[in-house]
């Protein structure tokens, strides 16, 4: 007699991107509203347009790195044409032949790393690896004045961390470079951040703390508890002009919209960031 066994497949891991980490670190309640409750206002037409232009520029860079013709993409949009001409003039060798024959070069390269029951996910706009590994990211907005926020942003930290953990490259042989178009005076500009063992250790410690907290908050959330606000954790809200959180403290009755828990986390497509506009760093 044969017995039928039910499938014993583990639950899929929740995918965590740099956007999730940055939002969670800034304000856990904001994370809940954006990724779990979907309470974000609809994207404006201006945001949609800038997302579309940004996507076209990324597609162009991907085509070029694959050695495919790009003229039809460039000619279809005067904005893209201008950025492209400026970018080529500033970095003529970047996507062409830098790194030599044996270098690994790939656009839209995705890597994943399992950590504390989550799946950390990164997608590099472009990666060039030979004796060193260089990660590149294209931003279609002007370069920020100070590199400090960019260096401390989870995109910089997570991208370097995952590469060090999933490849043979030691941290001090990894770097992350952001290119910004449009730049100043029609010249794209960049910031580069070398990685180190010290930063790697700090990133591991901070990821461990943040993901452990997320486990805890998700567990509470499944029991109708809201995530804490930045104001509750630090005494101030840095995102509100008033400096005061507009939501109720823990323990008070949350509004009706937050009390409806009619989905499971597994069913929630919280990893789809395509519909969420990129926030300039
Ligand atoms: S108002 Fe500020 S503290 Fe309150 S949820 Fe929003 S970001 Fe967080």
Would residue 138 count as lying in a domain? yes
Better pLDDT: 242 or 29? 29
Mean pLDDT of 252-271: 46
Cα of 114 vs its chain's centroid, Å: 16
Nearest atom (ligand 1) to Cα of 33: 5
Is the CB of residue 230 below 6 angstroms from any atom belonging to ligand 1?
Answer: yes
Q: Using a 6 Å cutoff on CB, does residue 140 contact ligand 1?
A: no
Omega into 170 within 30° of 0, i.e. cis? Answer: no
Find the domain containing 126 and state its range: 18-36+102-253
Nearest CA to 83 among 100, 113, 111, 59?
Answer: 59
Q: Nearest-CA neighbor of 82 among 108, 48, 106, 53?
A: 53
Q: Is the CB of 203 under 6 A from ligand 1?
A: no
Is residue 27 in contact with ligand 1, taking CB distance under 6 Å?
yes
Is 129 inside a domain boundary?
yes
User: Hey, which of 237, 244, 248, 258 would you mutate to test ligand 1's pocket, going by the most ligand atoms within 8 Å of its Cβ?
Assistant: 237
Q: What is the pLDDT of residue 270?
A: 52
Q: What is d(CA 135, CA 160) in angstroms, rounded to the nearest whole number?
A: 8
247 lines ligand 1 (CB under 6 A): yes
Tell whether ligand 1 has an atom less than 6 A from the beta carbon of residue 32: no
Q: What percent of the chain has pLDDT over 70?
A: 79
Total domain count for the chain?
1
Q: How far is the CA of 231 from the centre of ligand 1 (A)?
A: 7
- Give the separation between CA 12 and CA 217, rounded to whole angstroms: 19
Cα 255 to ligand 1 centre (Å): 15
Lowest mean pLDDT among 17-21, 29-33, 182-186, 262-266: 262-266
Let me know if residue 155 belongs to a domain: yes
**Residue 226 Cβ contacting ligand 1 at under 6 Å:** no
Determine the Cα–Cα distance for residues 152 and 144; give it in Å rounded to an integer: 13
Assess if residue 55 is contained within a domain.
Answer: no
Nearest C-alpha neighbor of 140 from the set 63, 61, 76: 61
Q: Which of 32, 229, 248 to mutate to test ligand 1, by most ligand atoms within 8 A of the CB atom?
A: 229
Ligand 1 near 145 CB (within 6 A): no
- Please tell me the predicted confidence (pLDDT) of residue 1: 42
How far apart are the CA of 4 and the centre of ligand 1, in A? 50
Q: Residue 71 falls within a domain, yes or no?
A: no
CATH number at residue 224: 3.90.320
Q: Is residue 51 part of a domain?
A: no
Instruction: Give a yes or no: residue 130 inside a domain.
Output: yes
Q: Please give the backbone phi and psi of residue 255, each rounded to the nearest 5 degrees, phi first.
A: -65, 160
Compute the radius of gyration of the chain from its Cα atoms: 21
* 3-state SS class at 173: helix
Higher pLDDT: 93 or 57? It is: 57
Q: How far apart are alpha carbons 153 and 199 in whole angstroms?
A: 13
Closest Cα partner for 91 from 193, 194, 182, 190?
Answer: 190
Q: Helix 45-65 to helix 78-90 angle, to the nearest 10 degrees?
A: 50
pLDDT band at 100 (very low <50, low <70, confident <90, very high): low
Ligand 1 proximity of 29 Cβ (cutoff 6 Å): yes
For atom 1 of ligand 1, the residue with the nearest CA is 245
Ligand 1 atom with least separation from CA of 230: 3
Kindly give the distance from the C-alpha atom of residue 221 to the centroid of ligand 1, in angstroms, as a whole number: 17
Pair of tokens at residue 219: 């567990």
CA of 35 to the centre of ligand 1 (A): 14
User: What pLDDT score was predicted for residue 8?
Assistant: 57
What does pTM read for this prediction? 0.83
pLDDT tens digits, one per residue of 57-76: 888 888 888 888 888 888 88
| pLDDT tens-digit map of 135-149 | 999 998 888 888 999
Could you tell me the sign of the dihedral formed by the alpha carbons of 117, 107, 147, 46, in that order?
negative
Residue 23 Cβ < 6 Å to ligand 1:
no
Does residue 182 lie within any of the structural domains? yes
- Phi first, then psi, for residue 106 (nearest 5°) are -155, 140
């Amino acid at each position: 007699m044969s017995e039928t066994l039910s499938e014993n497949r583990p639950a899929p891991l929740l995918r965590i991107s740099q956007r999730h980490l940055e939002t969670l670190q800034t304000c856990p309640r904001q994370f809940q509203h954006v990724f779990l409750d979907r309470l974000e206002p609809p994207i404006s037409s201006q945001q949609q347009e800038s997302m579309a232009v940004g996507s076209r520029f990324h597609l162009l860079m991907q085509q070029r790195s694959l050695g495919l013709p790009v003229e039809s993409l460039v000619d279809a949009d005067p904005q893209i044409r201008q950025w492209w001409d400026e970018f080529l003039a500033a970095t003529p060798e970047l996507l062409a032949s830098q790194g030599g024959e044996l270098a690994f070069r790939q656009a839209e390269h995705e890597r994943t790393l399992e950590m504390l029951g989550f799946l950390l996910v990164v997608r590099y706009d472009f990666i060039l690896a030979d004796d060193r590994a260089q990660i590149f990211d294209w931003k279609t907005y002007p370069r920020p004045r100070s590199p400090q926020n960019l260096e401390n942003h989870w995109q910089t930290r997570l991208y370097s961390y995952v590469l060090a953990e999933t490849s043979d490259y030691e941290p001090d042989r990894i770097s992350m470079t952001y290119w910004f178009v449009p730049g100043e005076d029609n010249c794209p500009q960049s910031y580069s951040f070398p990685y180190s063992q010290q930063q790697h250790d700090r990133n591991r410690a901070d990821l461990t703390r943040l993901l452990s907290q997320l486990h805890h908050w998700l567990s509470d959330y499944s029991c109708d508890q809201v995530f804490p606000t930045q104001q509750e954790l630090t005494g101030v809200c840095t995102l509100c002009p008033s400096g005061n959180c507009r939501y109720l403290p823990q323990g008070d009755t949350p509004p009706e919209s937050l009390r409806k828990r009619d989905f499971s986390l597994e069913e929630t497509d919280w990893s789809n960031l395509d519909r969420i506009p990129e926030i300039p760093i």
